Structure 1
Amino acid sequence: MPNWVGATAKQIARGVRRGDTSATQVVADHLEHIAAREPLFGAFRIVRGGEAATEAEKVDEQHDLTRLPLAGVPVAVKENTAIAGLPTWHGSAAARGPIEEEDHEVVRRLRGAGAIVVATSRMPELGVFALTDDSDGPTRNPWDLTRTPGGSSGGAAAAVAAGLVPMAHGNDGFGSLRIPAACCGLVALKPGRGVVPPPAGATAFFGMGEHGVLTTTVADAAIGFSVLAGRDSAKLVEPSGLRIAISTRSPVPGVRADAPNRDAVAVASRLLVAAGHTAVACDPAYPASIGTRGFATWLADATQKADEAGLPLSALQRRNRTHARLGKIAMRRGYVREDDREGFRRRSIAFFADNGFDVLVTPALAATPPAAEGWVERSWSANALACMRFAPFAAPWNLAALPALVVPVGVRPDGLPLAVQLVGPPGSETTLLAVAGQFEMAAPWQRHAPSVFPAVR
């Protein structure tokens, strides 16, 4: 009997639908793997062992599995998203909410597609920083246990990179899907506005937050996107003749992508040209105010989340107390305005339309992921500077509410994954997935961390 750990979501669902295996067996295999390996990574807050096994049995009892695109697929759900019967943690015991009575709509859709929620994945408190840790310790990158998996969906990324689950839910307010995907060698799509049911309450990020999934393949990313968007799964059509903008310019003044990340963009450009596309060097329209306004919005998000969770600032971690206090100042002085975000959205859409671009390619990160240790105890300035220096490229596309995707492209000299970001105009989610699929066909990547699956691609 084969062990299903390391299989893709597509392979598992096909096996369950065909009767080659059962959801019960698949979940048992993954729970055994979780028990043996998860303590190395600190990816999960809660493991739903017995509940997941019971839910797997219910999937197996269904008479018609053909309509379930995720039949028997174990998934993790980020701990800031409601799961019936569990508290919503938001990254810390202080921020933990009451027991939820209902699933969030995206959880309901995952379960309706046949997925089994085996765990909740860890995140930093209130999702503020791209460094996943708390007083219980850090979440570790399976590619290098001394490094962070990024954040705020860091537990989700670590879980998928370690094969604990083949697919994990996350959400992205300022890069919280794409940053950990880049850190851990995964695929993640942040949909554009209005495509997937949005986060609620303290996860909404001024309306910029979007739900998505992290996966090891483009096919799994496409299935996950279809499920969350409430669409029928469609086969991606290989695109040709696209006009692609190539840019390594950082939206944060004074921050520049390092040589490996610039090289990743050059590799991506060559792959695109080989696939029949036109690649043109062209920087997007980052206005001078984007850094200041974006930074103010990031600060104010912590204030908003603390207020909505009913948390006094004194209850927050030290780094987040400072972040939220500065957010109050930013909001009081009028630095956080929807008009600014809408203006940048219009300029960004015009960048594609006026130049005839179908896709923009940028680095996914600017530097190697920081060390995993001790960020929860460090100062606010240390946390903020670390995040801005290693991950400046994601946030603008939340401000613009445009779809953006991260896809692996090679490995750094230090052995950690490299990735690029693909951005498109409204409605281009399937185009981005299809282009990412061309990357995967031309230059397949190691699907899991080598320390967990040394010879598995």
Structure 2
Amino acid sequence: MTSWVGRTAVEIAAAVQEKRVTPREVVAEHLARIERLDGRVGAFRVVRAEAALAEADALGARDDLAQLPLAGVPVAVKDNLPVTGESNRVGSAATPDTPADHDHITVARLRAAGAIVVGLTNVPELCIFGTTEGVHGTSRNPWDTTRTAGGSSGGSAAAVAAGMVPIALGNDGMGSLRIPAANCGLVTIKPGFGVVPAGIGDGDWFGMSENGPLATTVEDARLLFSVIADTEVVRPDKPTPRKIAASVRSPLTGVAISKPYTTAVREAAGLLNRAGHTVRRADPPYPLSLSTTSLAHWTAGTSVDAAGLDPRKLTRRSRVHAAIGRRFVKSVRTGKAREELRERLAPFFAEHDILLTAALARRSPKAGPWHERGWLRNVLANTNYSPMTPPWNLTGWPAMSVPFGTLPSGAPCAVQLVGRPGSEAALLELAGELEKLRPWRRTAPLDQ
């Protein structure tokens, strides 16, 4: 019997379209893997087993399967995006357990493309931090279950890396796609502003948070991105030579990038140079004020999300984060600091097509009850391991995390690709070249 667990979304969709397998068979096999493994991984808050099988049966009875790009593909959705009939707890005891009466537009697009939502995935409370744990569960890195999967799309990343679903939907307000993707050996793209519908919470962190895909291959990421962006991103016949800046400098003063990640950048730069791209060492002109700008926007976004929630039901770290953010909301709403950052960085991207950096500064913290620890301890842990991602939420420009090599522990390493507005297709193309030049293992060997 052919197993569909571990297959790509592209492979599964083709098999369902050609009626070599039914949507029910695919979904049932993935649900069985979730049941077997999720106790160790903690990816899901809700598994929609009965509903997913019913939806798979309904899909299988349709006569237009050949026209559905994600026909029968099981997908997980981050627990801050509405899915009809399911509540959004956003990692908190303070949020209402009220079923949504509609799908978020990105979820609706997934369903319209033939995908089956098998569950909602764990997040840290209010999606604040780069580690995923809380009252609804702890998401661990399937490659090293002593470590956090990252956050805030940690459950979605863990589900894909563990082979429980081939693709998942998450979002990224300060790195929340790229951080867990880098930890878990996945491909993701944070789209530029306005490319994919956002609408997360009340203010999607003032337009900084973007919905995007988590996948094990560039082709799957391209497919899922095309569906949620409602535009076809075609893979070119041959690569386009690019001007690439390679940087191993941290955007934040005082935070150093560890050797495995600087090595990954240098090796990726060498491969791309030999592949015909113009690659040179160049550091973006990050301002000294970036730390305070990042903190102001990060906390202000939380203060908006926390408004109206019972503070007694929020964890201490979340209460402090929101309280600090209240003093910044007015200034953040003006967008002045973000516009100044774009103006400062624009000349660099006029000179270079793409920026290549480390995806993280070091491996993720150990999995544990971070939600019970103090605010400052959480902030320092997050800042020290994931300083590379926030600038590109502040600018609103597209950025990717791409697996590249391994850490001394054997867990995945990763690099980040950043481009100017409208460069999503170019980033995916370059990521595809890296995938071809330095292939990676797609899922963690949890069965071994």
Q: What TM-score do you get using the length of structure 2 for normalisation?
A: 0.97
Query: Match of 1:424, as an amino acid?
Result: G
- Superposed, 1:376-391 pairs within 5 Å as 376-391=371-386
2:41 and 2:142 in contact (8 A); partners too: yes
Give the corresponding residue for 1:294. Answer: 294
8 Å contact from structure 1 (residues 238, 435) kept in 2: no
Which deviates more, 399-408 or 319-328?
A: 319-328
Once the two structures are superposed, the pairs formed by residues 47-446 of structure 1 within 5 Å of their partners are 47-96=47-96, 98-202=98-202, 204-232=204-232, 234-307=234-307, 310-331=308-329, 334=331, 337-353=334-350, 355=351, 357-446=352-441
CA distance in 2, matches of 1:338, 1:118: 38
CA contact (8 A) 1:239 1:431 kept: no
What is the Cα deviation at residue 115 of structure 1?
Answer: 0.2
CA distance in 2, matches of 1:393, 1:376: 23
Give the gaps of 5 or more residues in structure 2.
none
Q: Distance in 1 between matches of 2:443 and 2:418?
A: 25
Q: Offset at 1:97?
A: 5.3
Hey, what's the Cα distance between the residues in 1 that align with 2:443 and 2:200? 31
Over aligned residue pairs, what C-alpha RMSD do you find?
A: 1.4
Structure 1 residue 202: Cα displacement: 4.0
- Classify the secondary structure of the residue corresponding to 2:409: coil
Q: Distance in 1 between matches of 2:203 and 2:129?
A: 13
The answer for unaligned runs of 5 or more in structure 1 is none
Deviation for aligned residue 1:135: 2.7
On the 8 A contact 1:365/1:390 being kept in 2, the answer is yes
CA separation of 1:47/1:256 partners in 2, compared to 1, >3 Å: closer, same or farther? same
Report if aligned partners of 1:17, 1:66 keep a CA contact under 8 Å in 2: yes
Decide which moves more: 92-101 or 389-398.
Answer: 92-101
> Which 10-residue stretch deviates more, 171-180 or 58-67?
58-67
Structure 2 SS opposite 1:220: helix
Q: Work out whether residues 80 and 203 of structure 1, in 8 Å CA contact, stay in contact via their aligned partners in 2.
A: no
Cα distance in 2 for residues equivalent to 1:337 and 1:268: 38
Deviates more, 1:315-324 or 1:6-15: 315-324
| Cα distance, 1:79–1:240 mapped onto 2, change above 3 Å | same
SS for the counterpart of 1:244 is: strand
Q: State the distance in 1 between where 2:165 and 2:40 align.
A: 15
Percent identity, please.
Answer: 48
Q: Which amino acid aligns with 1:365?
A: L
Structure 2 matches for 1:27-66, cutoff 5 A?
A: 27-66=27-66
Look up the SS of the partner of 1:26 in the other structure.
helix
Per-residue CA deviations over 1:241-299 (Å, capped at 9, x if unaligned) read 21100111111110011000000101110111121101111111211211111111111
Amino acid at match of 1:199: G
User: Aligned in 2, Cα 1:36/1:260: closer, same or farther, shift over 3 Å?
Assistant: same
CA–CA distance in structure 1, aligned partners of residues 293 and 26 of structure 2 = 47
1:131 partner SS: coil
**Distance in structure 1 (CA, Å) of the matches to 2:340 and 2:239:** 30
The alpha-carbon deviation at position 237 of structure 1 amounts to: 4.2
CA distance in 1, matches of 2:47, 2:397: 34
Would the alpha carbon gap of residues 231 and 137 (structure 1) be closer, same or farther in structure 2, given more than 3 Å must change?
A: closer
Any conservation in 2 of the 1:149–1:183 contact (CA below 8 Å)? Answer: yes
Distance 2:238 2:323 in 1: 48
- The CA distance in 2 between the partners of 1:252 and 1:295, in whole Å, is 11
**CA shift for structure 1 position 395:** 0.6
- Read off the aligned partner of 2:445 and give its amino acid letter: P
Query: Which sits farther off after the overlay, 143-152 or 234-243?
Result: 234-243
Q: Shift in Å at residue 94 of structure 1? A: 1.4
Q: Specify the code of the residue in structure 1 equivalent to 2:436.
A: M
The one-character-per-residue Cα deviations of 1:181-234 (angstroms, maximum 9, x if unpaired) are 000000000000111111332460111110001000000000011001001352
Q: Matches of 2:313 and 2:379 in 1, distance apart? A: 20
Inter-CA distance 349–239: structure 2 relative to 1 (3 Å threshold): farther
Shift of 1:315: 2.3
Cα pair 1:297 1:336 within 8 Å, conserved: no
Structure 1 length as normaliser, TM-score? 0.96
